[in-house]
């Protein structure tokens, strides 16, 4: 399997996390929130959903050779449940957990997944409303889960979310409300309106007093990690590069592999857009920091200015490096994957980790800083396909 080129433009800005050097064990407090054991429970449930299939793990031989890296593995989420994103796992799983608890309170006993899927509770659920704010993919998952199980869904989007992504959520019968502000302002508006109108927030970001649902979202994500471990067939990566918005996915990946591989865990590199680097700024400050402003980035799914609190509980000591990626790397990396053999469809937020790895490997100083060499085995997660088909065509083919 080859790629046309692995030479990418772009720049990186580094912050190495000294807290990660202590190599703390993954203790009971973190296991209570996210662990391999809880991930197995999520896999058991999600694997019963209609059209569940294990997604591909590609070995990018050509890219690895041209970047002078031992191996690059790319987990391809572009086909997940037809929603074209790993987010299909998290939002819908959190909806499932919420509805099981809700029905348990009504009926005195929680239904099984088979009972939920059978539709026998749709009458009891028809007036239940779940809601969230989203850049697109999480909202689509929540809307899909709501439709699958028979409740209502209201989604909040910010000014920069494309009409294509809005239409994708509306296709699952969600009511979509667009606000004038940025992502973080849409999160606040969704929470205010939910309190006023009696809706239940299914968010992928946590804040003070709101942790259970985002933890369930993160547990849903671990399904792709358990799949990847099986596909790696005993290989333990030396590095994991993972893109981040509020940090939920990054924390899920970091925590899962930290729990699974302990002292053998890979070097964990978190990648953010330059204009939305709330995790990097928090790491530099040693405390949670908010990035203000428009958060203007092509990587729309990563345009977040406030860190999820439960994500920070893991990443604060589990992530080795926090780096930012410049915008000019995105489209070339998407094109390189499209020209790969086999061709891989990757959306603009899917390629940040891969692009950072390749750019870092190309630059002698950055290569040394990241500890990349000819023996390195890198895992990246291709988190989405063309979730905005029109934008994908424009960026990859110029049409």
Residue 135 a catalytic site member: yes
By the 8 A CB rule, do 242 and 321 touch? no
Choose the catalytic residue: 38, 75, 76, 135: 135
Cα atoms in the Cβ-side hemisphere of radius 13 Å centred on 67: 34
- What are the distances in angstroms from CA 365 to CA 9, 328, 360, 397? 16, 20, 8, 33
Give me 333's structure tokens. 């990396």
Of the candidates 153, 166, 53, the residue with the CA atom closest to the CA atom of residue 99: 153
The C-alpha atoms of residue 162 and residue 248 are separated, in whole angstroms, by 22
Cβ atoms of 157 and 165 closer than 8 Å: yes
CA triple 365-366-371, angle to 5 deg: 100
Q: Which of 38, 75, 87, 289 is catalytic?
A: 87
Query: What are the tokens at 35?
Result: 């662990």
Tell me how far CA of residue 279 lies from CA of 151, 217, 371, 381, in angstroms: 34, 19, 21, 18
Catalytic residue numbers, as ranges = 87, 135
């Amino acid at each position: 399997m080859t790629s046309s080129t692995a030479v990418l433009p772009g720049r990186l800005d580094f912050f190495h996390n000294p807290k990660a050097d202590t190599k703390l064990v993954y203790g009971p407090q973190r296991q209570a929130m996210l662990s391999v054991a809880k991930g197995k429970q999520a896999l058991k449930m999600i694997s019963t959903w209609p059209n569940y299939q294990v997604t591909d793990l590609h070995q990018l031989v050509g890219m690895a050779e041209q970047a002078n890296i031992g191996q690059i593995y790319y987990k391809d989420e572009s086909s997940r449940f037809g929603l074209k994103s790993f987010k299909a796992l998290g939002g819908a799983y959190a909806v499932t957990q919420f509805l099981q608890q809700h029905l348990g309170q009504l009926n005195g006993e929680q239904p099984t997944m088979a009972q939920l899927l059978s539709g026998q509770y749709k009458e009891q659920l028809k007036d239940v409303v779940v809601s969230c704010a989203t850049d697109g993919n999480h909202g689509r998952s929540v809307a899909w889960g709501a439709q699958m199980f028979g409740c209502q869904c209201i989604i909040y989007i910010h000014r920069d979310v494309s009409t294509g992504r809005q239409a994708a959520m509306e296709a699952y019968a969600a009511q979509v409300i667009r606000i004038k502000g940025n992502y973080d302002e849409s999160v606040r508006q969704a929470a205010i309106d939910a309190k006023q109108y009696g809706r239940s927030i299914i968010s992928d970001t946590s804040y003070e007093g709101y942790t259970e649902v985002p933890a369930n979202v993160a547990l849903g994500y671990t399904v792709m990690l358990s799949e990847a471990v099986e596909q790696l067939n005993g290989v333990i990566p030396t590095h994991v590069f993972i893109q981040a918005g509020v940090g939920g996915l990054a924390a899920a990946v970091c925590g899962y592999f930290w729990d699974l591989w302990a002292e053998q865990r890979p070097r964990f590199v978190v990648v953010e857009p330059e204009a939305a680097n709330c995790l990097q700024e928090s790491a530099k400050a040693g405390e949670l920091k908010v990035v203000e402003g428009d958060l203007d980035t092509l990587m729309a799914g990563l345009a977040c200015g406030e860190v999820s609190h439960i994500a920070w509980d893991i990443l604060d000591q589990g992530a080795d490096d926090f780096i930012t990626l410049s915008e000019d790397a995105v489209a070339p990396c998407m094109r390189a994957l499209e020209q790969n053999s086999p061709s891989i469809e990757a959306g603009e937020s899917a390629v940040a980790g891969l692009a950072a790895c390749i750019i870092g490997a190309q630059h002698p100083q950055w290569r040394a800083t990241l500890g990349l060499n000819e023996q390195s085995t890198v895992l990246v997660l291709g988190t989405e396909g063309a979730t905005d088909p029109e934008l994908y065509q424009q960026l990859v083919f110029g049409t």
